[in-house]
Chain A
Amino acid sequence: MKEIRLISPLNESDVRNLSIGDVIYLSGRVYQILGPGSTKAMEYAKRKEKLPFELENGVICHIYSSIKKINKDWKLNYAGVSTSTYLPIEPNFIRNYKIRALIGKGGVGKETIDAMKEVGCVYLAFTGGCAALFTTRVKGLEAIHWEDTPERVIAFKVEALGPLIVGIDARGNSVYEKIDDEVKKRLLKIRIMPSTV
């Protein structure tokens, strides 16, 4: 278990050097793009269109956030990670925009992993339910795109966001797959003992 500090935007070779189980603390810019209203961004990926913001070498997050506008400035109330498989990612999204890391919980599907291997992208698991930890590592809201729609994209500035655990590395190794296989094996071995009644 290595502990590594990284700054986003990330570079491909740093990302390819990461292995499952490494612990990351991330600073720099991360995007909330894979929230409840992510379909618009996914449509851009399907049409291979250029997005109105720069994502190359960027980090995107599966998060729910509550923000409020005070005068003209947006402020974060709280944010925390959501289950990635409930908010599907177009594999082409990762390919087209050269995404280097996804932050979420629970991992992603096989097609997404294939795209991650090609591009050089990792899946970073943030602990589910830890909204206070996430929120206190956010140092500002850099930009909001598509502001008045549910599809809005938020660029957060974070400092030492973590611990983020590499759940899927850029070689396609997956903690989730490993654990799933292990659980299946152990389940077969478990014999429920008869009770004394």
Chain B
Amino acid sequence: MPITERMVADLCAGLYEKALKTLPSDVMEALRKAEEKETEPIAKRIIASIIENVKMAEESDLVVCQDTGLPSYFFKIGTKSNIVGDLKKAIAEGTLKITQDLPLIPHCYHCITGFNPGTNLGERVPVVHFDIIPEAEYIEVTAAPIEGGGEFFNAFKNFRGLTRPDPIEFVKKFVIDTIASAGGRPCPPLIVGIGIGTSFDKVTMIAREASIRPLNIRHPDPFIRKIEDELLATINKLGIGPMGMGGDTTALAVNIETGHNGPCRPVAIKIQCWAAMKASARIYSDGTVVYL
């Protein structure tokens, strides 16, 4: 039995809804730790209200945040999976279904006129990324709607990447300056996803992947891991705090993803607010769905 359009549409709708109504356990754990460690009373209170909000969303079957994002999915297709029908059509159908059923306030506007078709669908929206998993008999889908607040403050810069590259301190300074100038506007506590290296097109992609990487998974290279730790500590010394009202908790995590580059070393920063909407599942060729 193959994976059908209907199965994929239902899965997309289900994952989008789950992403909106829950907060991943790794983010919750980081919030609880931050609440415990926070020394500013107002900041502590704000983090407590965030934790209470997530509980209320679960108890009352509500969305965590009213910004339900620009629809976006990551698809990893097992090379031994059996799919029939049009995947892209299925993704659009599932997105439209949840947009109408919940209903959502669609934040999908025409790029020139600003017209909102009201469907959460548009040219190149949902934003979908495809990858493959060798030999696997399933498709792995992640719904990760893109919230507007953090997106405003994403940044990109080129550095020299030749045999005598710019020192890594240049990159660190770029990150700190970006966070400092954003201040409270992207709704801290933040998750900072950073892409270093690869190419112009790929680096923003790995920055995004870094921003949805579970907060308890660290970069495998100890040198990069050290940069993650250092940046997190420095960001939290800025004193921006939750919602920009001061405190020790400006970021919950700094996640870096890396890759080799040519003569130019691009760096991209994806700023994610605390409401890190994401949900994943695998769908097997026999129709079984396993939520991850």
Asked if A and B are interacting partners, one says yes
Residue with the greatest number of chain B CB neighbours at <10 A, chosen from A63, A134, A179 = A179
B63: CB under 8 A from chain A? yes
Decide: B187 and A129 in contact? CB cutoff 8 A: yes
Q: Find residues 114-153 in chain A having any chain B CB closer than 8 Å to their own CB.
A: 125, 127-136
Flag the segment in A9-17, A43-51, A73-81 that touches B: A73-81
Q: How distant is A78 from chain B, measured CB to nearest CB, in Å?
A: 5
Say whether, besides A64-B105, A77-B103, A179-B239, A192 and B169 are in contact (CB < 8 Å). yes
Question: Known interface pairs A163-B45, A165-B45, A165-B245. Does A80 touch B172 (Cβ–Cβ under 8 Å)?
Answer: no
Q: Which residue of B lies closest to A1 (CB)?
A: B41
B289 at the interface (CB under 8 A from A): no
Say which residue of A68, A82, A197 sits within 8 Å of B168 (CB atoms): A197
Task: Using CB atoms, name the residue of chain A closest to B107.
Answer: A64
CB interface residues, B 182-218, toward A, < 8 Å: 183-185, 187
Distance in Å from the Cβ of B284 to the closest Cβ of chain A?
Answer: 33
Nearest-neighbor residue (CB-CB) of B106 within chain A = A66
A28 CB to nearest B CB, Å: 20
Decide yes or no: A79 and B66 within 8 Å by CB, A23-B45, A194-B169 being known contacts.
yes
Please give, as numbers and ranges, the residues of chain B lying within 8 Å of A65 by CB-CB distance: 66, 105
Bound-state CA distance A158–B66 (Å) is 17
The answer to whether the Cβ of B162 comes within 8 Å of any Cβ in the partner chain is: no
Q: Whole-angstrom distance from the CB of A149 to the nearest CB of chain B?
A: 15
> A21 contacts which chain B residues (CB < 8 A)?
42
- In-complex Cβ contact of A125 among B50, B240, B245 (8 A): B245
Q: Does A160 contact B (CB under 8 A)?
A: no
Q: Mark B166-177, 1 if CB is under 8 A from A, else 0.
A: 011100110011
A1 and B46 alpha carbons, distance in the complex (Å):
13
- B 23-62 contacts with A by CB, 8 A: 41-42, 45-46, 49-50, 52-54, 56-57, 60, 62
Q: Tell whether, in the assembled complex, residue B239 and residue A129 are in contact, meaning their CB atoms are under 8 Å apart.
A: no
Chain A residues with CB under 8 A of B62: 78, 131-132, 135-136
Chain A residues closer than 8 Å to B227, beta-carbon distance: 195
Cβ 8 A contact of B67, one of A1, A80, A186, A193: A80
B64 interface residue per 8 A CB criterion:
yes
Contact residue among A63, A83, A133, A192 (Cβ-Cβ distance under 8 Å from B53) = A133
Q: Point out the residues of chain A lying under 8 angstroms from B66, CB to CB.
A: 63-66, 78-80, 82, 131, 134
- Counting chain A CB atoms within 10 Å of each CB, the highest count among B173, B185, B223, B243 belongs to B243
**Complex contact A132–B223 (CB within 8 A):** no
- Decide yes or no whether B102 CB sits under 8 A from chain A: yes
B160 at the interface (CB under 8 A from A): no
Q: Tell whether A175 is near chain B: CB-to-CB under 8 Å.
A: yes
B50 x A130 contact (CB < 8 A)? yes
Looking at B7-15, B230-238, B252-260, the stretch in contact with chain A turns out to be B230-238
Closest to B274 in A: A129
Alpha-carbon separation in the docked complex, A59 to B57 (Å): 25
Chain A, 182-197, CB within 8 A of any chain B CB: 182-184, 186-187, 190, 192-195, 197
Contact mask B139-178 → A, CB, 8 Å, 1/0? 0000000000100000000000000000111001100110
A80, A106, A192 interface centre (most CB from chain B within 10 Å):
A192
84-110 of chain A: CB within 8 A of chain B:
85, 105-106
Q: Which residues of A contact B56 (CB under 8 A)?
A: 132-133, 136
Return the contact of A190 from the options B57, B237, B240 (Cβ within 8 A): B237
Given A165-B245, A183-B238: A135 and B45 within 8 A (CB)? Answer: no
Is B244 a contact partner of A192 (Cβ separation < 8 A)?
no
Q: List 24 A-B contacts (CB under 8 A).
A: A1-B45, A65-B66, A127-B242, A127-B243, A129-B273, A130-B49, A130-B64, A131-B66, A132-B56, A132-B63, A133-B53, A135-B62, A175-B42, A176-B184, A179-B245, A180-B183, A182-B239, A183-B180, A183-B239, A184-B180, A190-B234, A193-B230, A195-B167, A195-B169
Given A105-B243, A175-B245, 9 new contacts (CB under 8 A):
A63-B66, A78-B62, A127-B53, A130-B49, A130-B64, A178-B246, A192-B234, A195-B169, A197-B223
